[in-house]
């Protein structure tokens, strides 16, 4: 499968490129800067220069699936949360629709539906992620919305807990990446939104029982 990863130079995005390649897919990594291209190549991916804040059609064209794993990060302000986490995601979803690609996976976040209980910039982040998720759900795409708890850089265990709502928890980025890739090929994960933390169930089994 030809899979585009937006945010490929990021921590989860890099793992996605590496794992997609290991599993026999053809990963394309969206990067914003020329000098980031070699990172993607070293991971086994094909770099594509594009910015979520402008036209991404050339990056999306010809793909079988698209993954949003980008994020403005906590060091930028609300304007970037709006421009990347919401508008950038919607821009990518619209390009996916325009090119007739069916499969889109969104790396969202736990507690997006409870934004009212949060405060300040984090509240805004959850609200804006929620708006991007809502747009995705309104499309005809075979979407999967993955909402992990706190991301860590620990080694993956391939064991998770999923559900509409799960308790507060953490999960290694490696297991988030594995869950996203498994979701590409598990029809039971299509048209689903679920929270995700580390747990006791193998990823494939967890997705079959969503
Ligand atoms: N941190 C957590 O605990 C947590 C929990 C739940 C969900 N999440 C979500 O998980 C996702 C991945 O998190 P992470 O920490 O692995 O990511 P990360 O390392 O912060 O990487 C984010 C990537 O997004 C890219 N990006 C930013 N603006 C862009 C734009 N305009 N166009 C294209 N790419 C752009 C960045 O590019 P550059 O490399 O060029 O800067 C970076 O490579 C995010 O969506 C985040 O909201 C995080």
The pLDDT value recorded for residue 145 is 98
CB 40 within 8 A of CB 8: yes
The answer, yes or no, to whether residue 72 has pLDDT greater than 90, is: yes
Residues 79-116: pLDDT tens digits?
A: 999 999 999 999 999 999 999 999 999 999 999 999 99
Atom of ligand 1 nearest to the CA of 125: 47
Please state, in angstroms and rounded to a whole number, the distance separating the CA atoms of residues 121 and 117: 12
pTM for this prediction: 0.98
Residues 126-139: pLDDT tens digits?
A: 999 999 999 999 99
Please state, in angstroms and rounded to a whole number, the distance separating the CA atoms of residues 129 and 146: 12
The pLDDT value recorded for residue 75 is 87
Q: 44: which residues sit within 8 A by CB, 6+ positions away?
A: 17, 18, 21, 22, 27
Q: Is 135 a catalytic residue?
A: no
Nearest CA to ligand 1 atom 1: 151
User: Which residues sit opposite 48 in a β-bridge?
Assistant: 30
Please state, in angstroms and rounded to a whole number, the distance separating the CA atoms of residues 72 and 109: 13
Residue 81 has what DSSP assignment?
I
Best mutation site among 4, 7, 128, 195 for ligand 1 pocket (most ligand atoms within 8 Å of CB): 7
The answer, yes or no, to whether residue 156 has pLDDT greater than 90, is: yes
Vertex 90, ends 88 and 92: CA angle to 5°? 70
Taking residue 177's Cβ as centre, other Cβ atoms within 10 Å add up to 26
Nearest CA to ligand 1 atom 28: 72
Backbone angles phi, psi at 89, to 5 degrees: -65, -45
In this structure, what token pair is assigned to residue 82? 């709006």
């Amino acid at each position: 499968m030809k899979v585009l990863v937006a945010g490929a130079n990021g921590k989860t995005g890099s793992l996605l490129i590496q794992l997609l390649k290991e599993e026999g897919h053809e990963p394309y990594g969206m990067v914003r800067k020329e000098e980031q291209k070699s990172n993607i190549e070293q991971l086994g991916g094909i770099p594509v220069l594009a910015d979520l804040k402008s036209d991404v059609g050339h990056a999306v064209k010809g793909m079988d699936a698209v993954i949003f794993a980008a994020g403005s990060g906590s060091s930028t302000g609300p304007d970037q949360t709006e421009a990347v986490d919401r508008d950038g995601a919607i821009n990518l979803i619209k390009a996916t629709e325009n090119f007739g690609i069916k499969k889109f996976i969104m790396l969202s976040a736990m507690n997006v539906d409870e934004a009212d209980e949060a405060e300040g910039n984090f509240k805004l982040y959850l609200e804006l992620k929620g708006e991007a998720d809502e747009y995705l759900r309104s499309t005809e795409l075979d979407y999967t919305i993955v909402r992990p708890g706190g991301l860590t850089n620990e080694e993956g265990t391939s064991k998770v807990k999923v559900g509409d709502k799960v308790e507060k928890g953490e999960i290694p980025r490696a297991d988030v990446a594995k869950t996203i890739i498994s979701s590409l090929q598990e029809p039971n994960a299509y048209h689903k939104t679920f929270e995700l933390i580390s747990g006791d169930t193998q990823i494939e089994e967890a997705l079959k029982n969503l």
